[in-house]
Chains A and B, each alone.
Chain A
Amino acid sequence: MSKKDLEVIIATDCGSTTTKAILIEKKGDTYRQTYRGEAPTTVEAPFEDVTKGVLNSITEVEELSGRTLLDGERIIIPNNGNTGADIYVSTSSAGGGLQMMVAGAVKAMTGESAQRCALGAGAIVMDVLASNDGRADHEKIERIRQLRPDMMLLSGGTDGGTVTHVVELAQFLKAADPKPRLGASYKLPVIYAGNNKAHQQIKEILNERTALIVTENLRPTLERENLMPARHKIHDIFLEHVMQQAPGYPKLMKMVGAPIMPTPAAVGVMTEKFAKANKFNVMAVDIGGATTDVFSVFSGVFNRTVSANLGMSYSISNVMAEAGLPNILRWLPFDMDEQDLRNRLKNKMIRPTTIPQTAEDLEVEHAVAREALRLAFDQHKALAVGLKGIQQERSISDAFEQTASGQSLINLMDLNYIIGSGGILAHSPRRIQSMLLMIDAYQPEGATRFAVDSIFMMPHLGVLSQISEKAALDVFYEDCLVRLGTCLAPKGLAREGQLIMEWEIIDEKGKRKTGELRFGDLLHVPFESSKGKMIARPVKGFDMGAGSGGKMEAGIQGGVVGVILDGRGRPFEPAKNHAKRMADLKKWYKAMEMYPV
């Protein structure tokens, strides 16, 4: 069947706890997501077969849609009347996802490139080894031995350069004799993507003890990163080795019409397609119970990071440990005893499926979420950088502005779109809560559009986009994204109450709303129009994207929240003074109608 004939698509995402199925049908010229079903994932005992959960979730879709999709344990392909689907696709992060260890000669150069390569392929990076990572050699070897990754990526050196460091890393690897996480009697797959001059030595050292795959150097020169060949190899090995060891996956691989993708890789693909189709700089975040993934596309460059221990249930206590209690408490408009907060968060950690019953408990979770989002964003900014170690040409005019190589690619003023997903953002009782959480955590500058992925459909659409980009984008716009609105935030600092901007927003029909923004204020203006325009006239010292005091006109998007005008300045931090902070938070939450009174 040719791609243009796709009319009915069934897609699943096999998560750690839940397998989610969606049905997509072509209605006229447009693809729409019509039904969804979910069932517990069945990777672990007593089932130990992922396809059971897949079939259960599809059965739920069958029941809701009235369409017969299954013939016993087989998905009926192709569609015929009210029976079957034209293709079945799936992503997977069950059983802990794809876990990798990476190594590079120099931590900030090939080490970082290797990390970006693995993260972009959808992996969780368990550790980054490098010749200069500060650990003694025996500590590195011990670390390799302790971790049991699914595979390892070894890089180091530019093509034709010195081979010593990468050979040394290979020798450590051999000495550690690492074992893969699944299938203790199999050899650990190792992808070598380093200096091409060392191929022979690497083969001699590693061929016997590991399943070695040699590919192109991911950093052939200091000035160039070449991540795709190694990323493709990671995907191949994910399918050929790792998936083959996971319970039921060999069966699942026979059921799908396109290769199974690691869930985060699929989300990354969808983020890239969306950014490219709209010429936007985009950031997408998925905050889960255990981890927070951040994806960004800036000027066409894609980056992904995963903060493996920042999450809202299993890892909630780690957010407290990393952020510190004062940083969580600074978002609460009421006093809370430190011991009470500690015990509450630990109780959430040990009983991760519980939900806030009271508004106060919800506010505590929201406070933690802001910190988890902020910390994961900090980690993302640190990795989404230009290449380090490259030579830069400087003219005489640059003499007084010595910027180092490896600057972060994330520029908040240039960020056009933020998409949030994960329970706390997708299921907030009030949508404005999701939007303000992201504004507080990311502190966008200028005009930034916001949306949430209603039911975490981006993985399904990412894998589908490999088959039909149109189907994936249609559903993405029509059913996946819940448009929240736009945040207008002038950059700068002033005295409380000082006028900082005059604003105008105009909807598709030409209807105007105007007003003034004063420093320290947070305003909410309902605005539903999906396309609109804003005209901002910031005062001198404030920037909306056209420089200090520059008038700015830009496209905006309305939504279920509307427009939030953030006059709290940039950089923004809640007041240190307790009474002032309490008063501010109460004022802002009241203006936003954040919580029930």
Chain B
Amino acid sequence: MAHAYTPGLKVIPCTLLRKKRLLPIPGKVLVEMGQEVSELEVVAQTELPGKVFSVNVANRLSIGPDEIKNFMLKGEGDALNKGEIIAENRPFLKWFKTTIESPVGGMIDSISLITGQVLLREPPRLLPIKAYIKGKVVEVIPGFGVTVEAEGTFIQGIFGIGGETTGEIAVAVESPDEDLTPEAIKDIYKGKVVIGGKHAGLAAINRAIEVGVSAIVVGGIHDRDLRQILGYDIGVAVTGTERIGLTLIVTEGFGMIPMAEYTFKLIASRNGEKASVSGATQIRAGVMRPEIIVPGYPRDVTKCKKEQGRGWIEPGDPVRIIREPHFGVIGTVASLPPELTRVGSESRVRVLEVALEGGEKLVVPRANIEVLEK
């Protein structure tokens, strides 16, 4: 049977999830192998070296770099408070006295007799890594972190902004093709993961930030609104560090696009349950998509699907068209003709036939569809 490889976003009622939780530099692992952890529990932490500041003592005291050793009141490694004097000259007349105060608290990192520069270092900052999902520690990477395993619902979005957060799922619309309006965002959604339908406009997103919503999950947004929220254009899709007051996940793309019905129904089936979400997106090497994870089984599922998707499509599979002129249309694969076909742009490409609900068939380049993985 004809089939084609097409990666798709995962929308799975129940699957086995493994999350690596690693420190960027070596530190200490705080949990043990086999331990059950909650999403907010710190599993590892390290100390990030403090910020370094420079003070040019030679210039400030108008002396040669190699002379500064005679005027320093503190040595390398000495602790300091902000405003403490680190060097001073000793003129005959006290009016000419110059003192140099430390601009930061911390310690003296180094004193250079070549440049006359003194480097000061702030105290180290603690960097904790949380478990992010409720589950069990199945691997400990000494000095770096752990792998947490859990069974649960796993839904990938196509694009997001903002980092990891958690909250109860609150479905704020009746259907996947309904707009998420500012009025629909109630005060009780504070700290929750709010599910919208086809689109969230600027006013709705601002309202959610005002209420203190943890995250919004919606079909589409306009790029113009995204620019307004961030204050700049996202040039390259590497996100996750934005701080706009909430995490925003788009399941379909940019524009007014209803959330896929299957995705909507699945999230709605977990309404009121606690979810872990992340907006981090990276589309180059090491692809990362935003995600919504709800630990545990949905009500009607008793057995967890453990196998991965098969990685290709076949006639009968549900697909979404992801490029103009039919962007956002959902249908099923009718056929996969093997020969190259000339499309409207005159490129000769591999295509497939997509059957729509009303019986209409569209011919689309295979590169322009996405399988709706279930």
Interface set of A (CB-CB < 8 Å, partner B): 16-17, 43-44, 94-96, 137-138, 141-142, 145, 163-164, 167-168, 171-172, 174-177, 179, 184-185, 201, 290, 309, 314-315, 317-318, 320-322, 338-339, 342-347, 349-362, 427, 429-430, 596
Contacts of B347 in A (CB 8 A): 355-356, 362, 427, 429
Docked CA distance A339–B370 (Å): 24
Interface set of B (CB-CB < 8 Å, partner A): 24-26, 49, 51-54, 65, 109-110, 112, 114-115, 117, 119, 121, 144, 158-159, 222-224, 226-227, 232-237, 253-255, 281, 283-286, 322-325, 327, 343-349, 364-365, 367-368, 370
Contact check: which of A175, A338, A342, A427 meets B52 at CB < 8 Å?
A: A175
Contacts of B345 in A (CB 8 A): 355-359, 361-362, 429
Contact check: which of B54, B233, B346 meets A138 at CB < 8 Å?
A: B54
Docked CA distance A201–B65 (Å): 14
Report whether over half of chain A's contact residues are helix, strand or loop; otherwise say mixed: helix
Contact assessment for A354 and B368 in the assembled complex, using a CB-CB cutoff below 8 Å: yes
* Interface-central residue, B51, B119, B223, B349, by most chain A CB under 10 Å: B223
Docked CA distance A16–B109 (Å): 40
When C-beta atoms are compared, the residue in chain B nearest to A95 turns out to be B285
Contact assessment for A354 and B112 in the assembled complex, using a CB-CB cutoff below 8 Å: no
Contact check: which of A43, A94, A430 meets B346 at CB < 8 Å?
A: A430
Docked CA distance A68–B277 (Å): 50
Docked CA distance A342–B237 (Å): 14
Report whether over half of chain B's contact residues are helix, strand or loop; otherwise say mixed: loop
Contacts of A321 in B (CB 8 A): 232-233, 235
Docked CA distance A16–B287 (Å): 12
Contact assessment for B324 and A344 in the assembled complex, using a CB-CB cutoff below 8 Å: yes
Contact assessment for A351 and B370 in the assembled complex, using a CB-CB cutoff below 8 Å: yes
Q: How far is the CB of B281 from chain A (nearest CB, A)?
A: 8
Docked CA distance A248–B44 (Å): 29
Beyond A201-B114, A347-B323, whether A339 also contacts B224 by CB under 8 A is yes
Contacts of B112 in A (CB 8 A): 167-168, 171
Contacts of B324 in A (CB 8 A): 344, 357-358, 360-361
Docked CA distance A509–B337 (Å): 46
16 contacts between A and B (CB under 8 A): A44-B285, A95-B285, A137-B53, A171-B112, A171-B119, A184-B26, A309-B235, A318-B236, A321-B233, A322-B235, A349-B283, A351-B323, A354-B365, A357-B324, A358-B325, A429-B346
Contact check: which of B54, B115, B368 meets A164 at CB < 8 Å?
A: B115
- A95-B285, A314-B237, A321-B235 given. 8 additional CB < 8 A pairs? A138-B51, A350-B159, A350-B237, A354-B323, A355-B368, A358-B325, A429-B347, A429-B348
Contact check: which of B109, B110, B222, B370 meets A343 at CB < 8 Å?
A: B222
Q: Which 4 A-B pairs have the closest CB atoms?
A: A318-B235, A429-B346, A321-B233, A137-B54
Contacts of A596 in B (CB 8 A): 344, 346
Contact assessment for A185 and B26 in the assembled complex, using a CB-CB cutoff below 8 Å: yes
Contact check: which of A142, A175, A315 meets B109 at CB < 8 Å?
A: A175
Contact assessment for B26 and A142 in the assembled complex, using a CB-CB cutoff below 8 Å: no
Docked CA distance A211–B153 (Å): 46
Q: How far is the CB of A319 from chain B (nearest CB, A)?
A: 8
Contact assessment for B254 and A343 in the assembled complex, using a CB-CB cutoff below 8 Å: yes
Contact assessment for B285 and A342 in the assembled complex, using a CB-CB cutoff below 8 Å: no
Contact assessment for B323 and A355 in the assembled complex, using a CB-CB cutoff below 8 Å: yes
Contact assessment for A314 and B284 in the assembled complex, using a CB-CB cutoff below 8 Å: yes
When C-beta atoms are compared, the residue in chain A nearest to B48 turns out to be A145
Contacts of B117 in A (CB 8 A): 168, 171
Contact check: which of B54, B159, B253, B344 meets A357 at CB < 8 Å?
A: B344
Contacts of A44 in B (CB 8 A): 285-286
Contacts of A185 in B (CB 8 A): 26
Contact check: which of B24, B158, B222 meets A350 at CB < 8 Å?
A: B158
Contacts of A318 in B (CB 8 A): 233, 235-236
Contact assessment for A358 and B237 in the assembled complex, using a CB-CB cutoff below 8 Å: no
Docked CA distance A338–B131 (Å): 42
Contact assessment for A357 and B364 in the assembled complex, using a CB-CB cutoff below 8 Å: yes
Contact assessment for B284 and A290 in the assembled complex, using a CB-CB cutoff below 8 Å: yes
